[in-house]
């Protein structure tokens, strides 16, 4: 994950440099009011005019349009020829491989979001190093990578230069246009993250996240991750959650992860100092969608959200109670221990007053005041692509992408394969119809994007780190709608997010009008947002004994979530090219 702050002078170039779609660049050139953004798009765009021979060839292809059989050419080829003649050449992009091995995100500040809301100007700034004395420059070289915030830098008394002033909405539009049509950049609400992080108590702050976004980290911070399989805590007879068993598993998980901190070999001394100093762990989940189905609650519904809130509240309280108990046995994490008793008490008090700790019961805060806490952070929600697939449940906090997919059999014919939870339901309910499952069997693409965002925000209340979550949106979702989802996440207290519009990474955009966000097949029937679509593994249309398709979360595998896309390494995270599921973090 590569991140750049909204106030950075190069922010527009950073976003446009990753854009690989010439249609979007042309749209920006024609529609943006910001001259710098327009020039950057022009610089990225590459145009090759047709030669006389090419022009004649494409005209020859088009001539077959009125002839039955189209001269053997497909409609797609003829449309491509018409486009090239209309444009007078071929549009591509300069440096098409630039940053292709990394996901990019923009860190958005409260200042920027308020400027967008009020339609105000926004300054792009950076330390004025050209005017620094030798002493100031030495301080910059030693400390800027730790502080990393031009606002804090200015408060410390160092000169800051304003390189350019932009309309906040122009930059916001750029972010959302690129996110809609290429699934990047993602956004990280850095002030939301710092408002809630416990690191504030011991004088540190969040500067970036790990590749999948579930761990906002201070410089050199590291975190070991684990996940609880929530599906195991459903009482299938009473349709309820076994909270006592869940609490006990959380207690064991926290103790196990605390042990892992000491057993881990650290390659950098800075990582070791930070890891042992703050003793950060990240206990997450998998199988949330399964648990909701067992409890007959629809993911994203009002009833479902009430249950989700109670589940994660239970996990958070159990984790913090356990870490507080561990502090009595083994001592508090070192960064919360001062040189004097007075200093230690001050640190503990600051810890209990962080944004996140205000959600914790008073008893836990009092215990921390008395004896500290073993771990600075305890909770996260990682993708769990490998482990969730291994045990046959939904990954992370995501709903199922599909409950049915197809693979070829030994004779090359398709065999229908159902998710384990569907097979279990059909086996236990003989009168149930596979094509008419209850409403709580809801998939990611059937959910409104707003429901995805709301579930993320509800869970974030009880997570002291962050969440890896993709808000899936249907084909036809507009730039304005993507913008509204990001604003919903921000106002709901989320620390970041990614909106993935179906098909945005694997098809050419036909038109960029806000009301006509469709893909490059004008003759295809309009897809219904809530239509259930089986997933077909087209790569397995052959004898099963000779197929090389592997379902998994490694690079080159077929995605275990949607069973359709290919897993590729993107910015340190193994990510599906079809559904954008982040399956495995490279750290």
Same domain, yes or no: 97 and 23 = yes
Question: How many domains does one find in the chain?
Answer: 2
Same domain, yes or no: 248 and 322 = yes
Is residue 121, in this structure, part of any structural domain at all?
yes
Distance CA 194, CA 214 (A): 14
* Residue 513, pLDDT score: 37
Residue ending a domain, among 329, 347, 371, is 371
Same domain, yes or no: 178 and 212 = no
pTM attached to this predicted model: 0.84
Q: Which structural domain range is residue 72 located in?
A: 2-182
CB 497 within 8 A of CB 453: yes
Buried b (16+ CB within 10 A) or exposed e, 498-526: bbbbbbbbeeebeebeeeebbbbeeeeee
Same domain, yes or no: 173 and 235 = no
Same domain, yes or no: 176 and 191 = no
* Residue 467, pLDDT score: 94
pLDDT tens profile 86-131: 888 889 999 888 877 778 999 999 999 999 999 999 999 999 999 9
Same domain, yes or no: 145 and 196 = no
What separation in angstroms does the CA of 453 have from each of 49, 175, 309, 446, 485? 44, 18, 14, 14, 7
Q: Which long-range contacts (CB under 8 A, 24 or more apart) does 356-360 make?
A: 356/196, 356/197, 356/198, 356/464, 357/198, 359/316, 359/461, 359/462, 360/316, 360/317, 360/320
Same domain, yes or no: 23 and 172 = yes
* Residue 291, pLDDT score: 97
Q: How many CB atoms lie within 10 A of CB 219?
A: 15
pLDDT tens profile 168-215: 999 999 999 999 988 889 999 999 999 999 999 999 999 888 888 889
* Residue 518, pLDDT score: 46
pLDDT-flagged residues of the chain (< 70): 405-417, 505-553, 560-564, 570-573, 579-587
Strands 186-189 and 208-209: unpaired
* Residue 138, pLDDT score: 97
Same domain, yes or no: 211 and 135 = no
Residue ending a domain, among 165, 182, 199, is 182
Same domain, yes or no: 111 and 194 = no
Query: Dihedral of the CA atoms 36, 39, 45, 51 (nearest 10)?
Result: 170
Is residue 70, in this structure, part of any structural domain at all?
yes
Is residue 234, in this structure, part of any structural domain at all?
yes
CATH number, domain of 237, equals 3.20.70.20
* Residue 377, pLDDT score: 97
Same domain, yes or no: 40 and 170 = yes
Is residue 28, in this structure, part of any structural domain at all?
yes
Same domain, yes or no: 207 and 79 = no
Same domain, yes or no: 204 and 270 = yes
Is residue 401, in this structure, part of any structural domain at all?
no
Residue ending a domain, among 310, 342, 371, is 371
What separation in angstroms does the CA of 171 have from each of 181, 457, 465, 489, 495? 16, 25, 28, 18, 20
Is residue 521, in this structure, part of any structural domain at all?
no
Is residue 97, in this structure, part of any structural domain at all?
yes
Is residue 238, in this structure, part of any structural domain at all?
yes
């Amino acid at each position: 994950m590569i991140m750049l702050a909204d106030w950075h002078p190069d922010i527009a170039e950073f976003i446009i440099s990753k854009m690989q779609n010439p249609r979007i660049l042309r749209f920006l050139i024609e529609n943006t009011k910001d001259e710098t953004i327009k020039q950057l798009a022009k610089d990225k765009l590459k145009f090759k005019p047709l030669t006389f021979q090419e022009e004649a060839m494409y005209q020859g292809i088009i001539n077959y349009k009125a002839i039955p059989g189209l001269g053997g050419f497909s409609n797609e080829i003829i449309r491509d020829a018409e486009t090239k003649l209309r444009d007078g050449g071929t549009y591509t992009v300069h440096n098409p491989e630039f940053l292709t091995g990394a996901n990019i995100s923009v860190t958005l500040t409260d200042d920027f979001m308020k400027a967008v809301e009020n339609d105000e100007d926004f300054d792009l700034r950076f330390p004025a190093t050209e005017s620094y004395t030798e002493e100031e420059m030495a301080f910059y070289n030693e400390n800027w990578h730790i502080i990393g915030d031009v606002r804090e830098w200015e408060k410390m008394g160092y000169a800051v230069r304003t390189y350019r002033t932009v309309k906040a909405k122009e930059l916001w539009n750029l972010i959302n246009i690129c996110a809609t049509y290429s699934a990047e950049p993602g956004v990280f609400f850095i002030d939301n993250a710092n408002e809630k992080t416990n690191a504030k108590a011991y004088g540190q702050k969040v500067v970036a996240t790990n590749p999948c976004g579930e761990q906002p980290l201070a410089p050199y911070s590291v975190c070991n991750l684990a996940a609880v399989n929530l599906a195991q805590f459903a009482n299938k007879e009473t349709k309820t959650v076994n909270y006592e068993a869940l609490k006990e598993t959380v207690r064991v998980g926290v103790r196990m992860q605390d042990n892992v901190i000491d057993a881990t070999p650290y390659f950098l001394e800075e990582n070791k100092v930070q890891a042992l100093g703050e003793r950060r762990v990240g206990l997450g989940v998998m199988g949330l969608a399964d648990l909701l189905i067992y409890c007959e609650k629809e993911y994203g519904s009002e009833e479902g959200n009430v249950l989700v809130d109670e589940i994660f509240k239970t996990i958070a309280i159990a984790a913090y109670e356990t870490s507080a108990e561990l502090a009595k046995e083994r001592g508090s994490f070192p960064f919360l221990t001062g040189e004097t008793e007075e200093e230690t008490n001050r640190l503990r008090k600051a810890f209990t007053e962080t944004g996140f700790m205000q959600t914790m019961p008073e008893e836990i805060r009092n215990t921390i005041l008395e004896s500290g806490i073993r771990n600075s952070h305890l909770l996260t929600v990682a993708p769990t692509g490998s482990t969730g697939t291994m045990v046959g449940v939904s990954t992370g906090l995501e709903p199922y992408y599909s409950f049915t997919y197809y693979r070829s059999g030994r004779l090359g014919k398709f065999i229908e394969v159902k998710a384990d939870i569907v097979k279990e339901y059909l086996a236990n309910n003989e009168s149930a119809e596979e094509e008419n499952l209850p409403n709580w069997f809801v998939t990611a693409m059937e959910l409104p994007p707003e429901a995805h965002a709301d579930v993320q925000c509800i869970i974030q209340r009880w997570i002291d780190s962050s969440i890896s979550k993709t808000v899936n949106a249907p084909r036809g979702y507009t730039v304005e709608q993507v913008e509204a989802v990001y604003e919903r996440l921000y106002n709901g207290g989320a620390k970041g997010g990614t909106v993935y519009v179906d098909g945005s990474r694997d098809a050419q955009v036909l038109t960029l009008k806000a009301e006509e966000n469709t893909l490059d097949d004008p003759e295809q029937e309009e897809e219904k947002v809530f239509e259930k679509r089986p997933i077909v593994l087209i790569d397995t249309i052959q004898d099963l004994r000779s197929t090389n398709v592997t379902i998994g979360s490694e690079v080159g595998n077929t995605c275990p979530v949607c069973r359709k896309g290919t897993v590729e390494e993107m910015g340190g995270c193994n990510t599906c090219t079809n559904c954008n599921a982040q399956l495995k973090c490279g750290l």
